[in-house]
Structure 1
Amino acid sequence: MTRLYLRNQLCIPVMGFNRAIIYDLGRKDYHFISEAHYHMLNTDGLINFDGISDESERSELIDFLLDLEIVFEVASAHEAERFPKISTALHHTNPLSHAVVHTNISRNFIDFISQNHLQNLSIISAQMNDEVIRVINSFAHLEIDGIYLYIEKFDPHSLSLYERELARLPAVFSVNFFKADKPHTKLEANIYYNFFTEGFGDYKQLLTVDKLYVNQDFFLEAYNKHSYYNGKIYIDPSGNIKNGLNNTQIFGNINSMSDDEFHQTINSELFLALGNISKQKTLVCQHCEFRYMCTDTRVPEKEAEHWFHHAECVYNPYISKWNNEEGYLNLKASGITVSASGCTINKDQLSETFNKIWSE
């Protein structure tokens, strides 16, 4: 008797240049799969495993997928109708859902966003001190899901002084310290304390594995919008309004704005432009299997028909390597040329490079 299988609709296959990933949105995890297995699983109907001629390989794959609950067995083809495809549309959009500020943030900003629901508020400070606590309390009356602190210089003494006080602030989700002696993470009183050896200036520029997020809300946002710039506002220490930490474009100054001017600004087509650029529209990113879980702070640019980045990502999807992994090469060394006119792939050079890297 033929056994029938459907794919869990919260397990979404995404194809990269060389390999694919199953995004397990329910468990906030991911699993690599081959291109051949991607094409089998990329269906909303019954899965046809007959393409795998080797019975042992076929059985091993099915057991693997069943164990992870990526697929499940149904009694008949009619049961497929009971499991409709989930929508990938982003139904709820908010022009302001993520804010990044410094401890000298103007009271104007706090008043202007009093009617907004913020998913994330990030506060940057040179050190952990009374001013950080004061700023957190100044936002206490607002609807904020989580507050993230970024402390540019780690000082063990100041952490011990404020750890108990931070524990009494329910909105604080994580405290991130930079220039620590060694990288590590600890969980205390429902707050994640993350310690990084690099400086904050380097951290905010680069994509790293810890900036990959797998969940349904993030996936839908990244599928339709830019996962970093959509709904994002950054107020620099001088009060200048920007889209994000690495963007140089200024949209006015919070200190000299009225409430109406502020909301006209953040709802303007110019301010929202970067947030509307999905990774599928961006050169190189469109070939990356991580594109719907990636928090990429680089500023996309468009000089001709294509969106692209002047700065290269730390992950090369054409050879499936991160820059801290053995065998990594940059795009040019891999046979990839990226410019405003498009992406050109030297297939012979890339094939030779890929085979050399992965056969060693």
Structure 2
Amino acid sequence: MNNLFLRNQLCVPVKGYNRAIIYDILRKDYFLIPKEHCAILDTNDFIQFDKIEDVEEREELIDFLVNEEIIFQLSTSEQKKHFKSLNRNFENPNPLTNVIIHSNIDFRFLDLIKDQYLLNLSIISQEIDDNLLAILQKVSELEIDSIYLYIENSNIEKLDEYKKLFANYSLIFSVNFFNSKKIIDKTQLSQNIYYNFFEEEFSTYKRTLSIDKLAINAEHFLEAYNFHSYYFAKVYIDENGNIKNGLNNLENFGCIKSLTSSQFKEIISSSNFKELGTIKKKETLVCCDCEYRYMCVDSRVPSKGKKHWFHQFECVYNPYLSKWSNEEGYLNLEESGVYISASGCTIDQEKLSENFDKIWNT
């Protein structure tokens, strides 16, 4: 067997603090691998598997990667010229692609965005009522790829009635119900609309990252690699009409009730408004050490530190222990031996190693 292996360029290795992940951005899947193998695979040239001294380990890795179509073998080195590397740049000519509104939105806001091409429009509603149906009818006139509905309270006994109702709106991609504790089947597909049911309240859901919110696809990866996957090209209009960056932001950039279309465009195009969208995960403390950083949608508001961005509130995943908060053995950062502040990141290596061994080697 020759050593002429190339990596499928749509399978991207990403290194975390303890382990690495191969993002399969075409098939929307991922594979955890030891971080020692990440450097070997992270190349556009032929993969140097000989760097793995253990023959059994090397052959086992190659078999796994071939079977999952993460790598492929060429007959001759000359064939390499036919395979291009992945362009990781992300081009987006539109200042706005994602909008979040409430169902009681002033319809005049739709005039402010009528010239925008939107990938996603999210509508938050207390319940399924006339306000929601009216806004659904109105936004059907806009250029939108998909609509996501977030229903804070609803009568699940009327679910079949809701499904018939929403089937009339072709732009709806998903309907998300909260406080839905009696539903066993948490995800249902009906007439090309996904119905998702969450036990928690929407106020909790919007603040918390969870493993089910991880998204893997080419567009999301490239956006997260170059920008902030939550704040980039996004605007949130709160219930009072105030313009904000996202659901959890306090900063107010103006009110839609007193703006013209040109004034609104000026706000969302300003460097102050767009700043959060330009933050990269590799520039943010803790996130830069997380193997999930290019597939998560993190709505926490970053803060500026002396050299790096950081978060005042901790994520539910600890990359230094490779544990989610709902898993056995989870410890928060400080308990682990990791200390984050505006000054930077300090790691007590002895304490962290002791905690890691206790969790994973017992």
Q: How does the TM-score come out when normalised to structure 2?
A: 0.97
What runs of 5+ residues in structure 1 fail to find an aligned partner? none
Equivalence for 2:209: 207
Following the alignment from structure 1 to structure 2, what is the Cα–Cα distance between the partners of residues 52 and 307?
36
Q: What's the counterpart of residue 177 of structure 2?
A: 177
Distance 1:87 1:136 in 2: 37
Q: How does 1:106-121 map to 2 (within 5 A)?
A: 106-121=106-121
Match for residue 267 of structure 2? 265
Q: CA–CA distance in 2 between the matches of 1:307 and 1:158? A: 46
Task: Work out whether 1:41 is the aligned partner of 2:34.
Answer: no
Q: What secondary structure sits across from 2:209 in the alignment? A: coil
**Residue identity matched to 2:322:** S
Task: Write the distance in 2 (CA, Å) between the matches of 1:152 and 1:225.
Answer: 30
Shift of 1:92: 2.2
Q: What's the CA shift for 1:158?
A: 3.9
CA contact (8 A) 2:156 2:180 kept: no
Determine if contact 2:120/2:147 at 8 Å carries over to the other structure: yes
The equivalent of 2:152 in structure 1 is 152
Say what the alpha-carbon RMSD is for the aligned residues: 1.2
2-structure distance, mates of 1:166, 1:273: 36
Offset at 1:90? Answer: 1.2
Matches of 2:288 and 2:257, distance apart in 1: 39
Per-residue deviation, 1:79: 1.5
Cα distance in 1, alignment partners of residues 54 and 211 from structure 2: 35
Task: List per-residue Cα deviations over 1:49-95 (Å, max 9, x = no partner).
Answer: 11223333222211111111100011111222211211111122421
1:173 Cα deviation (Å)?
A: 0.4
Deviates more, 1:87-96 or 1:325-334: 87-96
Secondary structure, in 3 states, of the residue corresponding to 2:119? strand
Q: Say if 1:308 and 1:339, in contact at 8 Å, map to a contact too.
A: yes
- 1:130 positional shift: 2.8
Q: Distance in 1 between matches of 2:29 and 2:202?
A: 27
Residue identity opposite 1:193 in structure 2:
Y
Alpha carbons 2:215, 2:296 under 8 Å: kept: yes
Paired positions, count = 360
1:219 counterpart residue number: 221
Q: Which runs of 5+ in 2 are unaligned?
A: none
CA distance in 2 between partners of 1:189 and 1:133 (Å): 18
Consecutive aligned runs of 4 or more in structure 1 exceeding 6 Å deviation = none
| Preserved CA contact (<8 Å) 2:99 2:122 | yes
More moved, 182-191 vs 259-268: 182-191
Mapping of residues 1-360 of structure 1, within 5 Å: 1-181=1-181, 182=183, 184-360=186-362
Deviates more, 1:92-101 or 1:236-245: 92-101
CA-CA distance at 1:108 after TM superposition: 2.0
| Structure-2 separation of matches of 1:147 and 1:197 | 22
Structure 1's 93 and 285: CA in aligned 2 closer, same or farther, altered over 3 A?
Answer: farther
Tell me the percent identity.
51
Shift of 1:212: 0.5
Residue by residue, what CA displacement relative to the aligned partner does 1:224-267 show, whole Å, maximum 9, x if unpaired?
10000001100011000000000000000001111111110110
CA shift for structure 1 position 303: 4.0
> Shift of residue 299 of structure 1?
0.1
Distance in 1, matches of 2:93 and 2:295, equals: 18
- Return 80-89 or 196-205, whichever deviates more: 80-89
The more displaced of 177-186 and 220-229 is 177-186
Contact preservation (8 Å) 1:207, 1:314:
yes
Deviates more, 1:290-299 or 1:174-183: 174-183
Question: Alpha-carbon deviation of 1:310?
Answer: 0.4
**TM-score normalised per structure 1:** 0.98
157-166 or 90-99: bigger deviation: 157-166
- Tell whether the 8 Å contact from 1:129 to 1:158 is kept in structure 2 after alignment: no
Shift of 1:211: 1.1
Is the 1:299–1:309 Cα contact (8 Å) retained in structure 2?
yes
Is the CA contact (8 Å cut-off) linking 2:3 and 2:48 kept in structure 1? no
| SS at structure 1 position matched to 2:81 | helix
Residues 133-142 or 319-328, more deviating? 133-142
